[in-house]
Amino acid sequence: MKTFKIAVIPGDGIGPEVINEGIKLMTRIAELDGRMKFQFTHFSWGCEYYLKHGRMMDEDGIEQLKSFDAIYLGAVGYPGVPDHISLWDLLLRIRKEFDQYVNIRPITLLNGAPCPIVGGSKDTIDMLFIRENSEGEYAGAGDWLFKGKPQEVVLQTGVFSRVGTERIIRYAFETASREGKTLTSISKGNALNYSMVFWDQVFEEVGKEYPNVQTYSYLVDAAAMFMIKDPKRFEVVVTSNLFGDILTDLGAALAGGLGLAAGANINPERKYPSMFEPIHGSAPDIAGKGMANPLAAIWSASQMFDFFGFEDIGKQILHSMEKTLEEGSILTPDLGGYASTSEVGASVGEIYTEMIKSRTSV
């Protein structure tokens, strides 16, 4: 039996509330399954920690995280600490230091989840976003000149390296090829006359190595429109850091809301730990009320099982979420229900347990 060491960073706002449910479910599954064990180590890093220590994480925090098999993170950022400080010192820092250059965000409308567009179903909304996660518009490069003067100028530089652009596009081609899906690149070469012209060129070059993959290329503005008007055209999607950030919140809205949107920050070489987190933030407007939807965090946990090679469990978790959604009586307010975070978590756990027990008893 393998023991997986998981670093847990619950973070701020609703982060701890939703992560708690993911941990309970993972623990229950490990007990039922018997193939693995989880050893969770909690790190109380985040905005409260910052207010006490003037830092978002321990000085040697990155070193401490290195020995873990994965990181399970809730959310970072809270009023009282400027967002660019909290995010750059914790979440974005981990993504960068651990070269988690692939951000996998499934946008799939689960059975029973609400959809704001007519005719939305799992057949029409089933996309896999692969977001570049290490550079691009998030390179953190720029300058602030003549601060406060009339000639003040601020630069935010996008950085698209050959290595960085090729590896994310190649990863997307590999995924599409393996899954027998089409691949769509989303860029903006008409206006961004360096970065996105280069992106499009690399997409075309790498594409030549994958003649079996049908490709499409969209400008990001048109892509945003088609995601609503005709989402079926998107299967595997590859895009830059910022476009991926924005479009996956749009996608989340299509697939039941932010309470249902999961993500995995992957270092494919497995040289460093990968990190699993819901794509939503700390939701200060509902924090502390026990009403946050834990399903996004639970979906991220299912991505962790996939990553560890237990795809069967990953699927069963999604199936248990679908049963909870379809049954419809135990849902949080964002999905029109009255249940608490922990009631929803418990419901998924019970459905999972029943499913496993009924299988083994047949």
Residues binding Mn ion (CB under 5 A) = 245
**By rule CB under 6 A, what string of x and - marks binding of each residue 51-80 to ligand IPM?**
--------------------------x---
* C-alpha–C-alpha distance, residues 186 and 247, integer Å: 10
| Residue from 92, 117, 224, 250 binding ligand IPM (CB under 6 A) | 92
Residues 94-133 that bind ligand IPM (CB under 6 A): none
Per CB under 6 A, residues contacting ligand NAD are 14, 18, 75-78, 83, 87, 91, 258-259, 277, 280-286, 292-293, 296, 334
What CA–CA distance (Å, rounded) separates 94 from 274?
Answer: 9
Rounded Cα–Cα distance for residues 291 and 13 (Å) = 12
* CA–CA dist 189, 278 (Å, integer): 30
- The one of Mn ion, ligand IPM, ligand NAD, none whose footprint includes residue 92, by CB under 5 to 8 A per kind, is ligand IPM
Structure letter (DSSP) for residue 243: H
Residue with tokens 């200060």: 284
Using the structure block, give the residue that is written with the tokens 């847990």: 8
Instruction: Please report how close the Cβ of residue 214 comes to ligand NAD at its closest, in angstroms.
Output: 32
279 binds ligand IPM (CB under 6 A): yes
| CB of 243 vs ligand NAD, minimal distance in Å | 16
Residue 142 burial (CB < 10 Å; 0-12/13-18/19+)?
Answer: exposed
Q: Would you give the binding string for ligand IPM spanning residues 222-261, x where CB under 6 A is met?
A: -----------------------x----------------
Tokens linked to 171: 């990863």
**Strand partners for 144:** 154
The residue among 121, 126, 122, 124 whose CA lies nearest residue 106 is 126
Asked if residue 12 binds ligand IPM (CB under 6 A), the reply is no
| Minimum distance of ligand IPM from residue 357's CB (angstroms) | 36
Least distance CB 83 / Mn ion (angstroms): 12
Query: Minimum distance between the CB of residue 288 and ligand NAD, rounded to whole angstroms?
Result: 12
Q: How far is the CB of 273 from Mn ion (least distance, A)?
A: 21
Query: What is the Cα–Cα distance from 147 to 306, expressed in whole angstroms?
Result: 48
Rounded CA-CA distance 352/348 in Å is: 6
Residues that bind ligand IPM (CB under 6 A): 77, 87, 91-92, 245, 279
